[in-house]
Structure 1
């Protein structure tokens, strides 16, 4: 996820130079409309990658989807690094966007299936930590060097990831679903450091969870699956959760970091502020990886939504009524928004993609959900310049704050808790006809 993370933050460091100097070796202007397409076009390609992953996850497996995603990633970065025309810039963004889409579901699905329940929350967060680290790396490189250096670094990271993925064992759950039980047992033993009685018990649980299910349902039984509560409930919950994530502006701050810092009225150097945003996001994500196993998903999501709302509403109020009165307010509000969004709304939807869907439909459910998330993200990113002009910066931040507030209400009412539960238990809870009482929120 390091190289896809770099792709998410790349437009923030490339756009200021492209706006000022244009495409290298070309005299054509790089206007605001072109800039918005450069920032958002990867989000057109990303849903295609999500849908492709829904097929490759079931047909090729988790491991080979991990290998495959790095091919367009390497090609996309090379095109960006060597770009001398607009089509190369856009093609490079499409390539890295495809890789982000392919990576979005498979990394979380693979992690959810290969780790033990007590470690799942911690290790699933390392996907988000890798994304945050990738964003920070590209921010640092973009502030110190020409943006082409960041692009070549992204290509190098994707090449290393491709080689490392070849050595990974396949997911035992996927192998069991395909009827390849001897391979699944060997894979589980490799993941647990060798065969033994505990591995045998875990493998027997995998077999019991698969009993009565057709091998690898995938797309073939999607229409039937949509009528079962253990599929349509998580599909609905996750799609709404992702809507709040995207519409609250968390990716706008990533893609347009330099612009947002200026719009918010932060007075420090814009590139230094962007790097500090990247550092804050990385530190917060590392903290979430520990807090998630102790606090659970729901408390973090509620605190995140309320914190984001408070920061955006404070920033909107400052810009509207007290601009220039207290210069520390914009910087504090932006930093607080970054920290609180990372605490829950930025990270948790991706974590729960690997947890909520049943094993035989995890690839399809994850692909459809992440596809929809990026389609919403494309609309939000493409609309950012127009909304900024129509609503002013204060009005735009007000909208983001209200959406974040609604996300907290949604979490309180409908988001299930998955901390400490096996994936089979999560599936069984959705299959029950009557809703079970939610546990009290303990932070």
Structure 2
């Protein structure tokens, strides 16, 4: 082999090492999902013991319906406000601070001396759930490589089911007070775990903190050595211009006009020679220090974040003067001078929200969440133990709820394992169809065999839980990826708020609905709602699986010419 054909020996970072830090970061963030689950479901354990109870703390139907639905009622306030707070504090800091009210809420429930304190604790927990939505969904969408985004963001469903399982097992073994006291440890553990993972590189760039963004990206792509990264950025790109493994993150988030810092200029200025070499399939010159190719990939990804993708048309330095602060912070969060007057922040935000790339996914997710809210599970969740007992299953309702949590967990695993192969559209429609059939059959069983103690209703409930865990996660995946960066925080918060508004109405009215329509009529109603949801998704839900954030944005914007 001649000297001209010899290549330097390099130690590559394995794919496992590249993926592991993203998994760890998502795992830490998903601990917040467990807190969210506990906050929403603690009322189920409380209601099961104090509803029509002779104990010191007791609730009638009116108090029970308000208590069970209160977290959903308070959530929209926190959800909408969180869209602004997360842009100010950042994703990581927001995820850390929200653990404080979770801890306080659990302690209040554990020690509550009166019904009033229980209600105050539920108000605090519900509002905190709302504040959770924007930072966690934004973080999910911004730290992962595109090919891993659906799997890792979908892992939130597993943590949700784990939280549900732990809560119901504790509730079956001990009292609701002890359960609340035990789970108060989880927010402390969560805060410690999140403190060890990096901030979103996209948010750091939006704040002009390019060096911190580079460090964050190096951590997330396999703990790449920063010193080696700096050496790469001063040498040739060492990367094919058509490399599809490192996506243009900034372009995906509508931030392609970012002006890079001087630290990247040496790396970015070498693009012409690289383009010529790659177009001729020629061997690129190697770095003198035999730098790890994975470090070069991180450098290229950071270069792409800076908006200098070699596949994009070259933009003159004059046109590049619009900085990321102008693109994001000025457009969205500050008043802007135009036509001799100042546009209010409200008007500017409304204009961004009504653009097709935001309005269309917002309509889709709000509608999907609304169908889901009235489709059964959110309605019965605060009264789950009592509802199951109404069907006279061979085991107690508390342990039946544990079985439902197990099947829900299995459904989440199936969703994560199959979403890349089957796509979100197929999973959403099939899960909604199964939910519709399960609810209709539960209604038929309650109508015909209400006094019989068989395993049939428990089987139907577990099938319903399995499918519902898949159905309920799909709109959250859409929230994590469907909105442009400029409106992701607020639009994601609005979508999440719609979910909890629908869930509040469904939970608050369930007892009245059950009294009016009977149990079988209520489940027939849930079945009809799921049938309508199936028709809605059939006509309006596009397939977004496997697409980059930029491609999804163009899809909803209706740009058919975009490749």
Which TM-score bucket, shorter chain as reference?
A: over 0.9
Preserved CA contact (<8 Å) 1:57 1:106: yes
Task: Using CA pairs under 8 Å that are at least 6 residues apart, name the structure with larger relative contact order, 1 or 2.
Answer: 1
**For residues 268 and 178 of structure 1, what CA distance do their matches in structure 2 show?**
56
Residue of structure 2 aligned with 1:167, choices 196, 213, 229: 196
User: Which residue in the other structure is 1:18 paired with?
Assistant: 50
Residue of structure 2 aligned with 1:391, choices 514, 517, 530: 517
Count of equivalent residues: 433
Residue of structure 2 aligned with 1:198, choices 286, 289, 297: 297
The Cα of 1:137 is off from its aligned counterpart by 0.7
**For residues 300 and 329 of structure 1, what CA distance do their matches in structure 2 show?**
25
SS at match of 1:208: coil
1:76-225 alignment runs, 5 A limit: 76-192=105-221, 193-194=223-224, 195=229, 196-208=295-307, 214-216=327-329, 217-218=331-332, 220=345, 221-225=348-352
**For residues 178 and 96 of structure 2, what CA distance do their matches in structure 1 show?**
24
Preserved CA contact (<8 Å) 1:307 1:340: yes
Greater alpha carbon shift after TM alignment, 378-387 vs 248-257: 248-257
| Bigger helix share | 1
1:346-357 alignment runs, 5 A limit: 346-357=472-483
The Cα of 1:383 is off from its aligned counterpart by 0.3
Residue of structure 2 aligned with 1:283, choices 410, 424, 442: 410
Greater alpha carbon shift after TM alignment, 426-435 vs 190-199: 426-435
Do residues 226 (structure 1) and 353 (structure 2) align? Answer: yes
Residue of structure 2 aligned with 1:300, choices 400, 406, 427: 427
**For residues 430 and 197 of structure 1, what CA distance do their matches in structure 2 show?**
33
**For residues 337 and 173 of structure 1, what CA distance do their matches in structure 2 show?**
38
Residues 183-211 of structure 1, C-alpha deviation per residue, up to 9 Å, x if partnerless?
21221111112141111222233332998
The Cα of 1:66 is off from its aligned counterpart by 0.4
Gaps of 5+ in 1: 437-443
SS at match of 1:296: helix
SS at match of 2:546: coil
User: Which residue in the other structure is 1:4 paired with?
Assistant: 36
The Cα of 1:158 is off from its aligned counterpart by 1.0
Preserved CA contact (<8 Å) 1:308 1:401: yes
The Cα of 1:8 is off from its aligned counterpart by 2.1
Structure 1 residue runs of 4+, over 6 Å off? Answer: 209-213
User: Which residue in the other structure is 1:431 paired with?
Assistant: 557
**For residues 542 and 100 of structure 2, what CA distance do their matches in structure 1 show?**
36
SS at match of 2:87: helix
Q: 1:52 to 1:402 in 2, by over 3 A?
A: same
The Cα of 1:177 is off from its aligned counterpart by 2.4
Q: 1:390 to 1:20 in 2, by over 3 A?
A: closer
**For residues 561 and 468 of structure 2, what CA distance do their matches in structure 1 show?**
29
Residues 226-272 of structure 1, C-alpha deviation per residue, up to 9 Å, x if partnerless?
33111111111110111111110222343221022123443421111
Residues 411-442 of structure 1, C-alpha deviation per residue, up to 9 Å, x if partnerless?
22111222122212211222235599xxxxxx
User: Which residue in the other structure is 1:377 paired with?
Assistant: 503
**For residues 391 and 78 of structure 2, what CA distance do their matches in structure 1 show?**
33
Greater alpha carbon shift after TM alignment, 77-86 vs 279-288: 279-288
The Cα of 1:322 is off from its aligned counterpart by 4.2
**Higher Cα Rg: structure 1 or 2?**
2
User: Which residue in the other structure is 1:38 paired with?
Assistant: 67
**For residues 506 and 102 of structure 2, what CA distance do their matches in structure 1 show?**
23
SS at match of 2:197: coil
Preserved CA contact (<8 Å) 2:429 2:534: yes
1:222-301 alignment runs, 5 A limit: 222-301=349-428
The Cα of 1:9 is off from its aligned counterpart by 2.0
Do residues 419 (structure 1) and 545 (structure 2) align? Answer: yes
User: Which residue in the other structure is 1:330 paired with?
Assistant: 457
